Structure 1
Amino acid sequence: MLETLVKDRLRLRPRRDTREEILNTAEELLQRRGYNAFSYQHIAVQLGIRNAAIHYHFPGKEDLGVALVRRFRQRFRDWAESVAGQGDAWSRLTAFFETYIAYLAATDMRICPVGVLGSEFGVIPEPMRHEARLLMRENYEWLAETLQAGRDEGSLQFPGEARSKAVEVGAALQGGLQIARMAGPQRFHQVLEQLGLELRGGASGRN
């Protein structure tokens, strides 16, 4: 009877998804410390597992890094799909800003994926560079398309080409997060306010 109860409990216990836990922990370490500032040992200690368990899912750190960036890319595509067609371009752009605010609000002050990969681009493995380029391209293409749609519909205004403005907006957001780590969250909100003033005119900061 006791043996049956033990087996039933083991059967009903949620199965541990070690691979997903490894990715989650590696993501947190990547965005806080950077790719070269953590090892499999850091992950193993944090999760209470052996290094061999990590190597089982990701034979080398490069494999883990590539999997992380691909997950960032899929997450962004899912997010972009979720906001497609919701409100005007300014509303979608505001939703994009809010993803950065979430990084800012995190207690560990994470840097956005594009920002952290860009800062370490010269030292990460080439397969990760390839995925990072694709991630950046997808982010900026979405930004450019949204900015152009906003100008076409009249919800946004800016001089020059939408692609050039997308680079400026992306750089402002990433730089704002970096500054906020040293000077406080209010600095990032100042960046957002200024972007609103530039893209929406005098009424933007109040909307």
Structure 2
Amino acid sequence: MPSAILKSGRRRPIRGGRDTREEILVAAEELLLRRGFNGFSYQHIAVRLGIRNAAIHYHFPTKEDLGVALVRRYRLRFLAWTDEAGKCCAALDRLAAYFQTYVDHLDGRLQICPVGIFGAEFDAIPDLMQREAQMMMRDVYEWMVATLQEGRRDASVAFEGDPRDKAMELAAAMQGAIQFAGIAGRERFEQVLRQITLELQPPARPAVAAVRAA
């Protein structure tokens, strides 16, 4: 399933030794989702992996380097997902698969997604990381606009207004819903998701009754 590409991307260490850089990124991603970028340190990663801080600094000399690598990791994962989804799914199915990634975050008890974290902490993250986050947001936005446009052309998606405006509405609704879920429970997220899905469904075409000639 395409949405699996957007998950943590954990992979086995290289045979014959540890893939320390990859393990650091996986651990940092988990900490980022639970604590936010400014809520963890290299020491948290070192304790989790059973390595020295120096091993982390070897791969990522500064935390800014680590942060930029994390955002790029998300961007590349998202772009790979869009390539895969574009080969096998209609526009409405691709949108539903994207929304499913938010459900995956909730199922993993990670009640805020990376886009939401970078948005909430934007003024507090390093400059290079800010630029990468802006490019990631652009990637998501442009994909969503293109998918909405395609869905309107092939009649698999229905909505009023400009696709650019609809893309912003959908992004804001999903971000808000996942934030609400952390406070008010998963059912609040599901309410928003049901309504979004309903609004994107094309109207059912009335059945045309066969008329026999007298």
Fold match, TM over 0.5?
A: yes
Alignment of 1:36-185 (within 5 A): 36-107=38-109, 109-185=110-186
Q: Relative to total residues, which structure has the larger helix share, 1 or 2?
A: 1
Q: Letter of the 1:15 partner, please give it.
A: G
Runs of 4+ in 1 over 4 A off after TM superposition: none
Name the residue aligned to 2:6: none
Amino acid at match of 1:33: R
1:68 alignment partner AA: L
- SS of aligned partner of 2:31: helix
Match of 2:24 among 19, 22, 25: 22
Give 1:59's aligned amino acid. Answer: P
- Count of residue pairs the alignment pairs up: 191
Give me the whole-angstrom Cα distance separating, in 2, the residues matched to 1:89 and 1:128: 31
Whether the aligned pair in 2 keeps the contact of 1:28 and 1:110 (CA below 8 Å) is no
CA distance 1:155–1:13, shift in 2 (3 Å): closer
Any unmatched runs of 5+ in structure 2? Answer: 1-13, 205-214
Q: Deviations over 1:168-196 (max 9, x none)?
A: 10111111111111111111111110101
Question: How many Å separate the matches in 2 of 1:72 and 1:88?
Answer: 23
Amino acid at match of 1:134: M
Query: Contact between 1:180 and 1:186, CA under 8 Å: does it hold in 2?
Result: yes
The aligned runs of 1:196-207 (5 Å cut-off) are 196-200=197-201
* SS of structure 2 residue aligned to 1:16: coil
**Structure 1 residue 87: deviation in Å?**
3.0
TM-score by length of 2: 0.85
Superposed CA deviations along residues 26-72 of structure 1, whole A, max 9, x for unmatched, are 11111111111111111111111110000000000000000000000
What is the deviation of 1:128?
Answer: 0.2
CA offsets 1:78-131 (integer angstroms, 9 cap, x no match): 111110032321111111111111101003x24211111011001000000000
Q: Which runs of 5+ in 1 are unaligned?
A: 1-11
Are the aligned partners of 1:90 and 1:156 in contact in 2 as well (CA < 8 Å)? yes
Q: Contact 1:93 / 1:146 at 8 angstroms: preserved in 2? A: yes
SS at match of 2:156: coil
